[in-house]
Amino acid sequence: EKTLPLRGYKILISAGGTKERIDPVRYITNDSSGKMGHSIAEAAYQYGAEVTLVTASTLESSKAIHRIQVDSASEMFEAIDERFEDVDILIMSAAVSDYGVADAATSKMKKADLKEPLTIELQENPDILKTMGAKKENQFLVGFAAETNQLEDYALKKLAEKNLDLIVANEVGKEGTGFDSDDNQVVIFTKEHQRLDIPKTSKTEIARRILDKVIEELDHHS
Ligand code: C5P
């Protein structure tokens, strides 16, 4: 059906910036708001998909969207890994922290007990998307790449390294697009290195355009 092009599809979407706990009241995070991922989840639902949203964001989501709230990258990993086998499409729009705190404190750290300078040891988090890319069967995989320079080179490199079907690249560090803003400007690359530029528009519209491209690719994917 034209108006419900994703009817019958199960789609898993991640959103937001993960939080890496230092102690019960402190954490390390990033500037991602979750707007892009939440917009994709809403658009996918409007296209008729069965949507699961694994989010680290506090933004709202429709009741019809199955929402799983997570904090850390490892919680996000578990939530996605658990469901990956059962979905048709995975869209990783979350800004996953590359590092987590090696030994998070279980009670609040007290200044009096700390040495100066204070050192917090970080350890590498698993790359969720790369792990799913390595074990995918028929799932269609979409990744994001936020870059400040050499957008195309880095995006295509990630597409290949993570075994993706499509990558959405956006230039960050520019006013009015990217992380916390309502608008975005992206370039989509397919596995076949086809390039589609989406000029600056709302994240709602970008979400639809990304899904339209996914649908077009799905038509000759299976
Ligand atoms: O390598 P880079 O972090 O730039 O790749 C970005 C893509 O990989 C995004 O789709 C992001 O959600 C995903 N990612 C991930 N797990 C990580 C880091 C990034 O799934 N630990």
H or E element, residue 81: helix 73-84
Structural domain for 173, as ranges: 10-219
Domain assignment present for residue 59? The answer is: yes
Would you say residue 211 lies in a domain? Answer: yes
How would residue 221 be classed by pLDDT, with cut points 50, 70 and 90?
low
8-state DSSP, 153: H
Mode of pairing for the β-strands spanning 195-202 and 183-190 = antiparallel
Would you call 128 helix, strand, or coil by DSSP?
A: helix
In a domain, 2, yes or no: no
Kindly state whether residue 201 falls inside one of the protein's structural domains. yes
Q: Is 210 annotated as a binding residue?
A: no
pLDDT at residue 115 in the model: 87
CATH number, domain containing residue 68: 3.40.50.10300
> Which tens digit of pLDDT belongs to each residue from 128-175?
999 999 999 999 999 999 888 899 999 999 999 999 999 999 988 777
Rounded to the nearest whole angstrom, what is the distance from the C-alpha of residue 93 to the centroid of ligand 1?
8
Of all protein residues, whose CA lies closest to atom 5 belonging to ligand 1? 145
Amino acid at 157: K
Q: Is the pLDDT of residue 87 over 70?
A: yes
In a domain, 4, yes or no: no
Question: Does any domain span residue 73?
Answer: yes
Q: Give the residues surrounding ligand 1 with Cβ less than 6 Å away.
A: 73, 92, 94, 96, 98, 125, 127-129, 143-145, 158
| pLDDT (mean) for 20-27 | 96
**Rounded Cα–Cα distance for residues 71 and 218 (Å):** 31
146 Cα nearest atom in ligand 1: 4
- Give the type of residue at 195: R
* Res. 18: pLDDT tops 70: yes
Q: How many domains does the chain have?
A: 1
